[in-house]
Structure 1
Amino acid sequence: MKILVVDDEPDVRTLFEQRFRREIRSGEFSFSFAYSGEEALTFLTGHHSEVVLILSDINMPGMSGLELLRHVKHDLIPPPPPLVMMITAYGDTDSYNQAMELGANDFLTKPVDFTALKDKLHAISTA
């Protein structure tokens, strides 16, 4: 399963590669990384059919994760868009409600519980 992680924190790549080492090695999960909403849209334009899931931070400079979500769910061609999980350091109900209204499939808070995230990703990949 191809996953695009969108987060402006550069150390997120190392964190995911460490936490999912076994799944990456076995080929169960493949991660790509974008460090802004704009970079994610550029990546998706060229790899849209490959990406099954987007994990996106909400609070990023430039295009926010919520703006990215709106583009992914409403502007990208061809549909259907991939699954999208939003991640935020602020677990406030406004962000949650806005993400769900825009079509997010899930909402996680930072720090990410990687055990719970692995369980969710395994459930999606075997569904």
Structure 2
Amino acid sequence: MTVRILVVDDEADVADLFRQNFRREIRAGRYRFDFAFSATEALDVLRHGVPPDILLVLSDINMPGMSGVDLLAAIRAEWPKVAVCMITAYGDAATETQVRTLGAEAFLTKPVDFEKLRRQVAEALGDGA
């Protein structure tokens, strides 16, 4: 089974970074990545995806418009079983406490350590991927 992962970040080069760092998993059919460049776009993907089978969201926190924290709260309200990992360039303890309280499975800082992220993804998915 291929696990769909939605990456949410307002920086366009993020898609290439994820495709490059997860190329083995993508080629093997283990993961399929979808990308949204705003929290609003991410909600549209989750609401209108056919089928809506995203199991993990990796979201930046600081984005124009709706923040990643607001996105996390919306995901928890509508899709409580979807795992969410937050990624930020500004990793302070208060923000980490806030997103963990809202139910984030992980809190990672930029620049992304893709080996650590790979472990976090496996853990968030219950190693079932």
String of CA shifts for 1:67-113, please: whole Å, max 9, x gaps: 00010001x1xx43300000000110111011011111111000110
Match in the other structure for 2:121: 121
Specify every segment of 5 or more residues in structure 2 that has no aligned partner in the other structure, as ranges: none
Distance 1:125 1:32 in 2: 20
Say which is worse superposed, 40-49 or 1-10, in terms of deviation. Answer: 40-49
Q: Is 1:65 equivalent to 2:68 in the alignment? A: yes
**Structure 2 counterpart of 1:24, which letter?**
I
Aligned-residue offset at 1:122: 3.3
Q: Is 1:3 equivalent to 2:5 in the alignment? A: yes
Kindly tell me the number of residue pairs found equivalent between the two proteins. 124
Distance 2:80 2:71 in 1: 15
**Structure 2 counterpart of 1:46, which letter?**
H
Match in the other structure for 1:26: 28
Moved over 3 A (4+): none
Match of 1:126, SS? coil
Sequence identity percentage: 51
Distance 2:99 2:69 in 1: 6
Match in the other structure for 2:55: 52
Match of 1:117, SS? helix
Distance 1:120 1:26 in 2: 19
Match in the other structure for 1:42: 44
Distance 1:98 1:43 in 2: 25
Distance 2:127 2:115 in 1: 17
Specify every segment of 5 or more residues in structure 1 that has no aligned partner in the other structure, as ranges: none
**Structure 2 counterpart of 1:10, which letter?**
A
Distance 2:100 2:52 in 1: 23
Conserved? CA contact 2:5–2:32, under 8 Å: yes
Say which is worse superposed, 116-125 or 51-60, in terms of deviation. Answer: 116-125
Aligned-residue offset at 1:125: 5.9
